[in-house]
């Protein structure tokens, strides 16, 4: 009898060892971009780019408990470059390599016009893959973004904010710099590559292939609404397209900062913001404290959301509504989340959470709402998270005593 037991134990141990070895082999041979967070933690990733994606989905307790909904935030600030833009930086560069537009270690340079976060992600991936990086950004963005770019080895060019139709707009300058770069290289190996995140459809494709599937998997498909803002339109377009194909009846809402005309475009079909009235405007692009989202034009990525999904006989826009969030409420929400949840998030995440709160009130208890926490407050220390600066603009930087204050629109 003891011998039989020993044989059984040896057999079981052999089977278990084989299963563990097979599981390890399966994980190691699975592309890093397709590994779950659990699988990645059990394997060695190849360089910094192996850490991009598969970010946690966290329950925002204070908002969930107050509304009876499950309000979940995808912690994109945990990407190695500190924001959701890591995803498009890696995907767009990899696609450019596959098409032969970029070849590493050839003194080629990646160019982009950005408010900061995309530039930081591009600079990080460029360093990891053997490229130079040149970023053009509006001079009114938080200075710490420029400092981070420089620490990542990027050339930073700050230009005065102006309209996209102006040749000196930051996006147009980046396009021009890319065209000029390598023009005198007769071999053709030294290239300038313009990312063009605002109009490049690969931007939304990156989120269709990664962020959307991750949210679907993390919620087991139990999700009623998705909420996000729009800068380039890539995240909200890619995630909305994916989730609407997978989850019947899911709704998607735009979170829009004051000064942006996108909310009115979604809700009323007209691109207009009250701050666009003559004599009322303070800034060149969008009159808001919020950085990275809000526009008064349609990008190619966002415009695709205003079209009906393929096969939709009703011809409805893919967005189910939009909420225009004031700077006052953005500041209030950021301070509320820090005081009640310990969440230190950037300005775009704050307006996403205000909108998620409004959507929760609209849908009622028992619904699951997912939004994106794109970056940390660490990138906003000199502006959005500078209490003295906010007070000088008339904002209350104390955490609200109750969420009821956000119901007053």
Catalytic residues: 85
List Cβ neighbours of 127 (8 Å cut-off, separation of 6 or more): 133, 152, 153
Of all helices (H) and strands (E), which one includes residue 138?
A: strand 132-138
Please report where in the chains the tokens 């000088």 appear, as a residue.
Answer: 392
Identify whether the C-beta of residue 333 lies closer than 8 Å to the C-beta of residue 345.
no
Cα–Cα distance between 176 and 166 in angstroms, integer?
13
Please report where in the chains the tokens 């989202």 appear, as a residue.
Answer: 293
How far CA 94 is from CA of 101, 178, 355, in Å, comes to 10, 18, 34
Identify whether the C-beta of residue 300 lies closer than 8 Å to the C-beta of residue 198.
yes
Cα–Cα distance between 238 and 72 in angstroms, integer?
18
What secondary structure does DSSP assign to 137-171, as a single string? EETTS-HHHHHHHHHTT-EEEEE----TTSTTSHH
What is the three-class DSSP state of 136? strand
What is the three-class DSSP state of 228? strand
CA 177 distance to own-chain centroid? 26
């Amino acid at each position: 009898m003891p011998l039989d037991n020993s044989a059984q134990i040896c057999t079981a141990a052999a089977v278990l060892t084989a299963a563990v070895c097979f599981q390890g082999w399966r994980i190691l041979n699975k592309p890093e971009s397709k590994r779950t967070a659990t699988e990645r933690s059990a394997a060695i990733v190849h360089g910094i780019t192996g850490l991009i994606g598969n970010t946690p989905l966290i329950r925002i307790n204070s908002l969930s408990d107050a509304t009876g909904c499950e309000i979940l935030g995808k912690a994109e600030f945990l990407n190695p470059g500190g924001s959701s833009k890591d995803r498009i930086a890696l995907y767009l560069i990899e696609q450019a390599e596959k098409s032969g537009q970029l070849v590493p270690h050839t003194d080629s340079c990646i160019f982009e016009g950005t408010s900061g976060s995309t530039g930081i992600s591009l600079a990080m991936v460029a360093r990891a893959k053997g490229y130079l990086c040149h970023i053009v950004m509006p001079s009114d963005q938080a200075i710490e973004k420029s400092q981070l770019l420089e620490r990542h080895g990027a050339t930073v060019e700050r230009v005065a904010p102006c309209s996209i139709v102006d040749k000196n707009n930051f996006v147009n300058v980046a396009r021009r710099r890319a065209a000029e770069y390598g023009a005198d290289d007769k071999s053709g190996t030294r290239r300038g590559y313009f990312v063009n995140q605002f109009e490049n459809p690969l931007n939304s494709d990156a989120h269709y292939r990664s962020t959307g599937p991750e949210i679907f998997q993390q919620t087991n498909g139990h999700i009623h609404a998705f909420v996000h803002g729009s800068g380039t339109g890539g995240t909200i377009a890619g995630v909305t397209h994916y989730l609407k194909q997978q989850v019947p009846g899911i709704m998607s809402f735009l979170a829009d900062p004051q000064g942006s005309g996108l909310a009115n475009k979604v809700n009323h079909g007209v691109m207009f913001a009250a701050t666009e009235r003559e004599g009322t405007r303070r800034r060149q692009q969008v009159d808001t404290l919020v950085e990275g989202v809000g526009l008064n034009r349609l990008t190619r990525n966002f415009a695709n959301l205003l079209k009906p999904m393929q096969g939709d006989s009703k011809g409805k826009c893919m967005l189910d509504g939009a909420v225009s969030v004031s700077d006052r409420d953005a500041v209030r929400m950021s301070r509320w989340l820090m005081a009640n949840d310990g969440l230190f998030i950037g300005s775009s995440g704050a307006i996403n959470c205000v909108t998620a709160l409004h959507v929760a009130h609209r849908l009622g208890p028992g619904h699951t709402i997912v939004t994106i926490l794109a970056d940390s407050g660490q990138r906003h220390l000199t502006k959005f998270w500078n209490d003295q600066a906010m007070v000088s603009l008339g904002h209350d930087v104390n955490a609200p005593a109750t969420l009821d204050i956000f119901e007053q629109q």
